[in-house]
Amino acid sequence: MTRAWRGAILSVSHDPALDPAAVRHEADGLLVVEDGIVVARGPFADLAERFADVPVERLDGLIVPGFVDCHVHYPQMDSMAAHGEQLLDWLERHIFPAERAFADPAHARAVAGVFCDELLRNGTTSALVFPTVHAHSVDALFEAAMARAMRLVGGKVLMDWGPPGLCDTVETARAETEALIAKWRGRGRLGYAITPRFALTSSDDQLAMAGDLLARHRDVLLHTHLSENTRECAQVRARFTDARDYLDVYDRFGLVGARSVFAHGIHLSGHECARLAESGAGIAVCPSSNLFLGSGMFDFTQAAEFGVRLGLGSDVGAGTTFSLLHTAGLAYQAGLARGHRLDPFRALWLATAAGAALLHVEDRVGALGEGQEADFVLLDPAATPLLARRTRGAALAETLFALQVLGDDRAVSRTYVMGRCAWDRDTARFHPFSEPGP
């Protein structure tokens, strides 16, 4: 089935700071989709004749690629806005109790469904997700993602040194991870990530086992936390006395490579940045979380100097918003506090194609290019009275920046997954992939 949408289309396929031609914009564009794949995109005037037989729907607003959230915890969505603590105390007081409740598979299934809907409501169509230590929490997530045809990556959390009630062992972690990879490999649009929680909740033997799994499964990612909070960093230094730095702890266990995604990276040395760049590993930058937990602010200038690969993450539940649009606006503010001016087109790239590259799916999603999967979002520059005033008559860069700073889920009027409308703000309806959509 072939369908087309006419409207303003914007995407950023690679880093516009290195190549301004990365920005692709059609003020009056046509996006032609066949069986969920983009078959043509360009100015309406150029394509109209070729696709004269295809039904065209006009979309008012700005069409951008679906957002790619490079770091988010689905079991923490009901723990957002927990008052009072920084990372380690916040984990003990708020997060570990919430994650213990996922021992119940029915609870995991219920939360996973609401979580996927919340991603869609915010325009996020792909994500790298932390479940819990329970293997069935991965099943719940993947089942919810498949029902919505979403492109999600995740894996059972490894934490043999976790708190009571949330521990696995080296052996159970290996066996459950192997079983989950075998069960879910090649299904839907899903991917697997070996997921040690962070250095402090795994024994040396478990980190070594994670490295072994990563080496033996070339199609999976590595997903963990790195250098987020000063107290966490001090505890890592105290435990791993012969490691050169935090990243080196992971490196010694074979966990640093092009398939590795590390959340945060707030307190990185030059040596760590150089090693990240050399290995091709990426950082998921999570500004709303870093502000909320008082962790600090990401140093975009240092990352650019070394050529560290980046994406954006919401890090819900430390993060305060599911919206990667709003996260882009917060990335600007966090960057400016450390002397960096994040350009709005570069911020859009970080929220889309750059994230897709960290997840190794940049050939599939992130830029709305011909041959890519048709995951896209219709943004409404007049979503609120304030946005309407601020964007009236504004140039594209100004409109995009206003959407990032002032916008959030309210500015997502529709989310499309594989060319089908999955969320429609104006009717407040989700459309499951199994049912005929609008």
Q: Which residues bind ligand GUN (CB under 6 A)?
A: 73, 87, 91, 95, 197-198, 225, 228, 289, 315, 318
Per-residue exposure over 191-210, b if at least 16 CB sit within 10 Å of its own CB, e if not: bbbbbbbbbbbbeeebbbbb
Query: Residue 198: which of Zn ion, ligand GUN, none does it interact with, CB under 5 to 8 A by kind?
Result: ligand GUN
Nearer to Zn ion, 290 or 413 (CB): 290
One-letter amino acid for residue 95 of the chain: I
Please report whether residue 375 would count as binding Zn ion according to CB under 5 A: no
- In whole angstroms, the minimum distance from the beta carbon of 315 to Zn ion comes to 5
CA distance to 55, 124, 386, 406, per residue, from 378 (Å): 18, 12, 19, 16
Q: Output the smallest distance, CB 410 to ligand GUN, in A.
A: 26
Binding mask 44-83 for Zn ion (x = CB under 5 A): ----------------------------------------
Segment 169 to 208, residues that bind Zn ion, using CB under 5 A? none
How far is 281 from 305, CA to CA, in rounded Å? 15
Report the residue number whose CB is nearest to Zn ion: 315
Nearer to ligand GUN, 315 or 380 (CB): 315
Q: Given the complex with ligand GUN, which of 8 and 95 has the nearer CB atom?
A: 95
Q: 416 has which bridge partners?
A: 376, 421
Quickly list DSSP for 388-407. HHHHTT--HHHHHHHHHHH-
Residue 228 interacting with Zn ion (CB under 5 A): no
**How far is CA 359 from each of CA 28, 283, 309, 338, rounded to the nearest angstrom?**
31, 11, 11, 27
DSSP 140-185: HHHHHHHHTT-EEEE-PEE-TT--TTS---HHHHHHHHHHHHHHHT
Choose from ligand GUN, Zn ion, none: what does 139 bind? Cβ within 5-8 Å by kind: none
Please give the structure tokens belonging to residue 46.
Answer: 């150029």
8 interacts with, out of Zn ion, ligand GUN, none, CB within 5 to 8 A per kind: none
Question: Do 281 and 265 form a contact (C-beta atoms < 8 A)?
Answer: no
CB of 313 to Zn ion, least distance (A): 7
Give the whole-angstrom CA distance, residue 237 versus residue 242. 9
- State in angstroms the smallest separation of the CB of 225 from ligand GUN: 4
Residue 337 · residue 297 · CB < 8 Å: yes
CB of 383 to ligand GUN, least distance (A): 29
Report what 59 binds from Zn ion, ligand GUN, none; CB cut-off 5-8 Å by kind.
none
Q: How far is the CB of 428 from ligand GUN (least distance, A)?
A: 31
Strands 376-379 and 412-417: antiparallel
**Whole-number Cα distances in Å, 317 to 94, 96, 173, 341, 423:** 10, 12, 24, 27, 22
Decide which of ligand GUN, Zn ion, none touches 95; Cβ closer than 5 to 8 Å per partner kind: ligand GUN
Nearest CB to ligand GUN, comparing residues 225 and 267: 225
Touching Zn ion, residues 299-328 (CB under 5 A): 315
Q: Is 24 helix (H, G, I), strand (E, B) or coil?
A: strand
What is the distance of C-alpha 229 from the center of its chain?
21
Closer of 44 and 198 to ligand GUN (Cβ) = 198
Binding segment for Zn ion (CB under 5 A), chosen from 42-50, 256-264, 368-376, 393-401, is: 256-264
User: Smallest distance from the beta carbon of 318 to ligand GUN, in angstroms?
Assistant: 4
* Pairing assessment for the beta strands 37-43 and 124-130 based on DSSP bridges: unpaired
Residue 95 vs 127, nearer CB to ligand GUN? 95
Cβ nearer to ligand GUN, comparing 170 with 291: 291
> 């564009």: which residue's tokens?
29
DSSP for 47-63, written as a single string: HTTTTTTS-EEEEEEEE
Q: By C-beta, is 95 or 342 nearer to ligand GUN?
A: 95
Residue 402 identity: A
User: Among residues 72 and 374, whose Cβ is nearest to ligand GUN?
Assistant: 72
Q: Minimum Å distance from CB 196 to Zn ion?
A: 12
Stretch that binds Zn ion, among 32-40, 185-193, 215-223, 263-271 (CB under 5 A): 263-271
Q: Which residues bind Zn ion (CB under 5 A)?
A: 263, 315
